[in-house]
Amino acid sequence: MSDYTSGNINFTGLGSGTDFKELINGLMKLERVHINRLESWKSTWNDKVEKFQELNTALLGLQTTLKSMDTLDEFMSKAVSTSDSDIVTATATSEATITSHTVEVNQLAKNDIIVGYHGTASEKDTYFTSTGEFSFSYAGKSITLSNIPAGTTLQGFVNMINAHADTRDKIRAATINDGDEVHLQIYGLDLGADNVIILSNISGTTYDETDFYRSQNAQNSQIKVDGYPLLPSEWIERDSNTIDDVVPGVTLNLKKKTAAGSPINIGVTTDKEGMVENVQKFVEQTNTIRQMIKDLTDVTTSSDSAKGSILTGNYGVELLVGQRLKNIVASKGVGFSWFTEDPSTGNTSGDRFSALAQVGILTNADSGGAKMGLLELDTEELNKALNDDPMAVAKIFSANYLGESQSPNLTYLSHITNVTKAGEYNVQYEVSNGKLVSAKINGVTASVDPANWQITGPTGTDASGMAIRVENKANGIYGSDNINASNAMKVNLKLGKIGETVGILGEITSENGPLEILQDNYDTIMKNIDKKIDSEEDRLELKERTLTMKYSRLDALLGQYQGKTAQLTASVAQLMKA
């Protein structure tokens, strides 16, 4: 008799001797062909999602690398040498002029320090014998600590001064042990002649304001740069030993006084090797992404067939990602103007370099070659450009919303971050009766501030938030409707290729970017495949249960027939013997 149960169905075919379990397994294996195809299909989509994630991670890595050099100061480093670094050291930004300077230091900036003549035997001794008050002025501002408890020790008073909200960012207290007594010391936290401590009242203690002397006077630093000021008694003064507003783009760090009449020399040079390294990094990192996209979307052809890669034909990768990055390299810089020169006058206009091709970066166009589509750097051309105009090279790479006016009639003032767009703007304005009456930017009426002779970009346009000052205030109409006209007045807000790339990478990798949208679409496809697989699994489970019941009954029936056959065979055998 066969052995079978419903639910967890199990039978061995013992009734008839036929292995129906193996038969059902074979039938179910055929039935699972569709599920296997669905699972294989899902695996393909999952592989694509993983590649999207790998590409997204690589793009974020590129963005991080480029952000480290997307400003002029980061991209264009300048070195400053000094003839005596024990006296003065210096650093420079991209704005520093390539030149040399002399610096003479008459004195360093110092803070004010006062110390008590008399002290206590220990910092733990009582300093206030009764409820007291401590009043002083610092940098001209009066401050009072009142209701100081009787019994406050010297160390307790030090801690109070250093912790109190009114004093902790202005003065600092400490103790000095001379071996016999412990003295109270108070010093200002700021350098400069204006930051003087003046005690006005101390009560509740045996010491008063006359018990303190000034051990160091607050004073400004004093320097001469390139022999200025001329008179021996006159000096440039600052309330700091770090001076960044005397030599444009250069920060001086004063350490010691120079010998009288013996200034030191500092020299500013451009770190061209560092700029070359930054360009190489830009090319190499960009090529890493290009190669990755190329590998993901390439088609391998042979004499009789063609085979695509895992993302071949994916418009999101090929167009929305790959092509956008290629366009950045191939196009003119945002807000840059083509360079022109008048042969008759020698006058020039526009940017010396406004595209990467002009500084030696081109795309390999070798059809079918291993490096096809990758960037190539002509270092000889790059070095030539650096020798001609290093600042212009730095601008095409790393200008970060750098505003410039091409007309002496206008001065660029400012823009609003994340509001004003980089670009080239055509400005027109009218002055009537000595007053600024109207203005347009790119043909759209702009706001004017007659009192300040200021034009502001119209709301809702790319120029929104940009401020421009009028310099030519004579009556008349200035500019032209045609941006290419000789009398057109242009204001440029420039974004270098690194900044442009960083911005595009931000869009591509954002939550609403093409990669995220495509990944979401693929996730939806895989979820739908899972639903189909679940549905098929349910169908097959029912199918297997039905087959099991069917063949179980057949097995039982065959078993009965086999039993009857055996009985008949035995009966016939007995009849034959008789």
pLDDT digits 0-9 by tens, 465-507: 999 999 999 999 999 999 989 899 999 999 999 999 999 899 8
Which of 85-94, 370-379, 486-495 comes out lowest in average pLDDT? Answer: 370-379
Tokens at residue 458, please? 């119209």
pLDDT on residue 8: 44
Spatial separation of the C-alpha atoms in residues 490 and 479, rounded to whole Å: 9
Are residues 375 and 300 part of one domain? yes
- Identify the band that residue 252 occupies on the pLDDT scale cut at 50, 70 and 90: very high
Are residues 209 and 118 part of one domain? yes
pLDDT on residue 126: 94
Residue 337: which of 351, 323, 325, 327 has the closest Cα? 351
149 upstream amide cis, omega within 30 of 0: no
* Mean pLDDT confidence for 320-337: 86
Are residues 224 and 104 part of one domain? yes
| Phi and psi, residue 125, nearest 5° | -75, 155
Are residues 117 and 96 part of one domain? no
pLDDT at 15 over 60: no
pLDDT on residue 368: 61
* Mean pLDDT confidence for 541-551: 82
pLDDT at 299 over 60: no
pLDDT on residue 7: 40
pLDDT on residue 537: 84
- Identify the band that residue 315 occupies on the pLDDT scale cut at 50, 70 and 90: low
Pick the most confident of 45-49, 58-62, 276-280.
Answer: 276-280
pLDDT at 13 over 50: no
Which of 3-17, 501-515, 528-542 comes out lowest in average pLDDT? Answer: 3-17
| Residue 325 or residue 456, greater confidence | 456
481 in a domain, yes or no? yes
| Residue 573 or residue 355, greater confidence | 355
How many structural domains are present in the chain? 5
Residue 73: which of 352, 277, 275 has the closest Cα? 275
pLDDT on residue 302: 54
- Identify the band that residue 142 occupies on the pLDDT scale cut at 50, 70 and 90: very high
**Whole-Å CA distances, 488 to 32, 407, 426, 463:** 74, 8, 7, 17
* Mean pLDDT confidence for 97-107: 94
Are residues 283 and 343 part of one domain? yes
551 in a domain, yes or no? yes
Q: Which residue, 468, 495, 522, sits at the end of a domain?
A: 495
* Mean pLDDT confidence for 390-413: 95
Tokens at residue 294, please? 């190329």
* Mean pLDDT confidence for 72-92: 92
pLDDT on residue 309: 55
Tokens at residue 80, please? 């400053």
Return the amino acid letter for 556: A
pLDDT on residue 44: 83
pTM: 0.70
Domain with 90 in it = 78-109+220-270
Are residues 378 and 524 part of one domain? no
Q: Which residue, 366, 395, 424, sits at the end of a domain?
A: 395
192 in a domain, yes or no? yes
Are residues 290 and 391 part of one domain? yes
What share of the chain has pLDDT > 90, as a percent? Answer: 61
- Identify the band that residue 314 occupies on the pLDDT scale cut at 50, 70 and 90: low
Name, in order, each residue with C-beta under 8 angstroms of 302's C-beta and a sequence gap of 6 or more.
none
CB of 60 closer than 8 Å to CB of 515: no
Are residues 237 and 372 part of one domain? no
Name, in order, each residue with C-beta under 8 angstroms of 61's C-beta and a sequence gap of 6 or more.
285
- Identify the band that residue 300 occupies on the pLDDT scale cut at 50, 70 and 90: low
477 in a domain, yes or no? yes
Q: Which residue, 178, 196, 216, sits at the end of a domain?
A: 216
pLDDT at 174 over 80: yes
Are residues 117 and 105 part of one domain? no
| Residue 568 or residue 450, greater confidence | 450
Spatial separation of the C-alpha atoms in residues 148 and 169, rounded to whole Å: 20
pLDDT at 508 over 80: yes
Are residues 391 and 316 part of one domain? yes
Are residues 482 and 412 part of one domain? yes
What rounded mean pLDDT belongs to the chain?
Answer: 88
Residue 424, beta-bridge partner list: 492
Are residues 519 and 483 part of one domain? no
pLDDT on residue 10: 47
* Mean pLDDT confidence for 201-227: 94
* Mean pLDDT confidence for 544-548: 82
pLDDT on residue 319: 61
pLDDT at 33 over 80: yes
pLDDT on residue 103: 96
* Mean pLDDT confidence for 108-133: 95
DSSP string, 237-259: EESSSEE-SSSTTEEEEE-SPPP
Spatial separation of the C-alpha atoms in residues 190 and 187, rounded to whole Å: 9
Element (H, E) at 441: strand 435-441
Long-range contacts: 71-75, Cβ < 8 Å, 24+?
71/398, 71/400, 72/394, 72/395, 72/398, 72/399, 72/400, 72/402, 74/398, 75/275, 75/278, 75/394, 75/397, 75/398, 75/496, 75/498
60 in a domain, yes or no? no
pLDDT at 391 over 60: yes
39 in a domain, yes or no? no
* Mean pLDDT confidence for 430-443: 96
Residue 176: which of 231, 221, 118 has the closest Cα? 118
500 in a domain, yes or no? no
pLDDT at 277 over 80: yes
224 in a domain, yes or no? yes
Which of 113-117, 145-149, 159-163, 561-565 comes out lowest in average pLDDT? Answer: 561-565
